[in-house]
Structure 1
Amino acid sequence: MASSGNTGTDGYGTAVVIGGGLAGSLAAWALRGTARRIVVVERDRYPEQPAARSGTPQGHHAHLLLEGGRRALEEMLPGIGAELDARQARLVDVPADMNWLSSAGWMPRFSTGLAFVSCTRPVLDHAVLERVRTEPSIEFLEGTAVLGVLDDGAAVTGVRLRARGAAEDEVTELPAELVVDAAGRSSGMPGWLAAAGLATAPEERVDPGVAYSSRLFHRPAGADPDQPAVYLQTKAPDQPRFGVLLPVEGGRWLVTVGGMRGAEPAPGEAGFAAALDALRDPILRDLLVDAEPAGEVRGFRPGPGVRRHYERSAPEGLVAVGDAACTFNPVYGQGISTAVFGARALREAVRAHGIGRAGAREARRKVAAAAADAWLMSSSEDVRFPATEGGPSGAAVRIQHRYLDRVIARAAVDEKVCAAFVAVMGLTEAPTTLFHPKVLWPVLRGA
């Protein structure tokens, strides 16, 4: 393996990125200028136009690029916001452009200047991919599977590959100074490391048993084109169902309904309709009375939230980003933004230390730190539901829940508290913001 003492941005060596979805594409972009050759290995083949791929089953469902993620993405890919706007993505000001039913009631409608990007996942992925493909040092191996890692007994030194349709013995090796795992929730990396006798990452898991169904609808002819988004939150623990309507490109609405373990929607159209009827408020059902479906009902069970602590234990030469490092309950909308944060953290680390071992170690630390707040919020909320398996517990969590309940109750009647809560949920401010005196005092004073 080449020397690990490289620092700076001198185009040193080869980096391999496993997975060419959003997290992988951004990771490849983050490495430009610090790796002479960047190879993205993607098992699918990309469609020519935005479309869901078999490797991204969650692509049929609602996704949010939160304000924090939107800012970070614009920093990494200047002008990407304008490109998404040209593709009819919508900016949804929170809570001005939302009918938002929180656990404490309807949130006030006013502008905070904080917004999320609303579009279908394929549109976002395709816009990012097109930008990344403009970089000459990045190459894509489509239709190619990673079978395992190469190692020298202490470090990951590359990957083993096989093209789709190739014979079982047609395996090639691709050496690299850095391997980035961006293969998502279903990453095989933990198993590959164990099989090679390399250090594996300790994990935290929390599983609320979330499941949901989504469907696209054509906006009815008489409907307001500026119809705001709708968010019907769960009211844990007694009402574990949720519903979302997002305005997306093509004059359509993307509607997702779901619930935690014990309140999962049944499959198909009948299950979707029943889930709509079971929501806390009829607003979604009423909006869809005259809406023509623009696609079939798609169901999804994302599985547990998992945080892999590669910053604590990992072989040299390896970094994980996106869902391969930390995956959340999707109802909080944190996944895409956290993936962008992780790519930015990777960029910062390799620009300072190169793609050698020092750069990988720093990247693992920074990527973990970039996901910490989102994991704290989502895992702590998941354990409110009695059927959740795993997750944090104890007196500190119960106190946190009681305080957050008071924050939300005050936010429903106090715009300043609501704005602070929106900033935290939009990942532009740390959760400690909710303990600032400007929030703490009105919360403790009560509504």
Structure 2
Amino acid sequence: MEVNVINHKTRWVVGATAATAALALAGCSAGGGGGDDGEATELSVYIDSTPSSVALWEGLAAAYEEESGVSVEVETHPAGGEGDNLIKTRLSTGDMSDLFWYNSGSLLQALNPDQTLVPLGDEDWAGSLDDNFVDAVSTDNGLYGAPVGASFAGAMIYNKDIYSELGLEVPRSWDEFMANNEAIKAAGKVPVVQTYGDTWTSQLFVLGDFYNVSAEDPDWAEAYTEGERKYADPPALAGFQYMQEISEAGLLNEDFASAIYDDGVRMIAEGEAAHYPMLTGNVAAALGENYPDADASVGVFPIPGENADANGLTVWMPNGVYVPKTTEGAKLEAAKEFLDWLVTPASCEIQAESITLGGPFVVEGCDLPDNAPTLVKDMQTYFDEGNTGLALEFLSPIKGPALEQITVEVGSGIRSAADGAALYDEDVVKQAQQLGLDW
């Protein structure tokens, strides 16, 4: 999907902007493992050149060298589509680094991992991974990645002070959510912020509702990829309907058409508004930078669905670290030892110091630090109870380019939910055809 997040090289960035740094490729001696004899003392890892990614990996490399004596050279490539193509090219030509850090989910599947990557399912740490991450880095034939980074969610950011003042409880169903909104409106607060001046922010009611879609129809993502499910039909239609209902009930900020993302975060942090459907990683980073004193006042809960008994977070997984099949011999053993260390609490501690966490880690034993954002701590309960599900982009490569424009229209009352969903179904056909799917 195209969302701006930290460690996700698609279009929304959580705490980082898309990188424009020049590509730095190392020579053949640094890439690919070969059949080295003896003990390897150098490794190379290929990552995106986003400044936050480089800072993260430089910290990890320095710590690992201090502990093990093995130096890790960090090579970079541009983020986005250019980087995707470079990774595919280096894999196909046998010129990949000893390891590389890349998306989990459907973009990983496009690399043909069964043919290009070393399976890692037999490693001791494999059983410590969150089930969602396992799904995001696996095929029917094996598991291929270890996580670096943390999760995040598409959810409802809310102001806890408003909830406390009005005696409201966190809603588990859409009806309960709407009842809370009416009470908030009566108290003179903005019930729901929308920031359509930044069109990408308009998608969260649809994207964040996917936990509810898959809870009702577990086969939805697979059937959608095969062209057998539509957004114009329940249960996926609900996300569009929620936007229409919020608009028609007059629950939005007056400047929803021109307000931008920064306005939304400010209104939640300052208690001007109660709810903002958004990515947790984005908000955690913005609060930490601009409104640190508001941390305890800002929490998160899942986008509520029709069924209160199926209440969980739609989550995005961190990137995985992968080993190409060209890494062999002593380099392969050294790469596996590095992976062993990357999934330890010591590594997670370094990661937490290097990036703003947008959600819990996905490795057992990697606990949130005491200074983690309050909204991230709120998410931990859903992870502990198993009430999380992958966002659609990890389960299907299909996402049309016009979603954010369509959701702006539906959320603004310009187009009905039914019309918007049907238009989006038409939009994704083009991408399915480009991917060679038989629609």
Give the TM-score normalised by structure 2: 0.31
More strand by share: 1
User: Which structure carries more relative contact order (alpha carbon 8 Å, separation 6+)?
Assistant: 2
